[in-house]
Amino acid sequence: MRNTLNYRGYYGSVEISPEDRVLFGRLLFIGPLVNYEAESAQGLEQAFQAAVDDYLADCKQHGIEPEKPCKGTFNVRLGAELHLAAAVAAHEEATSLNDLVKQAVIEKVQQRVKAV
């Protein structure tokens, strides 16, 4: 089951409120809160796309650079033991810790894509 939407490089969540009998979501991976809702899956996708378009238009109107999802850097908290083990593994593979973590993430993402 797909629980994210994608449009123009932006991702949105798909959630349900049974008590309100409505589907809703928000743009993911950016700071500003941008949400949307609809009563059907097709309506939710249209509302999501309209929310992205409105966000980009609002940024343009106010002369603000729209946030891009994920800037390419993030901090990872591993704990001291795992951090040391990763540093040793990187050293033994003659690579940087950053490249070791990057390769691990690539492998995990590729496994996930193959499973779909």
pLDDT-flagged residues of the chain (< 50): none
Per-residue model confidence (pLDDT) at position 36: 98
pTM, 2 dp: 0.78
Q: How far is CA 30 from the centre of its chain?
A: 8
CA torsion 48-51-55-56 (nearest 10°) is: 70
Per-residue model confidence (pLDDT) at position 40: 95
Which three-class secondary structure string do you get for 11-25? Answer: EEECEEECCCCEEEE
Per-residue model confidence (pLDDT) at position 114: 79
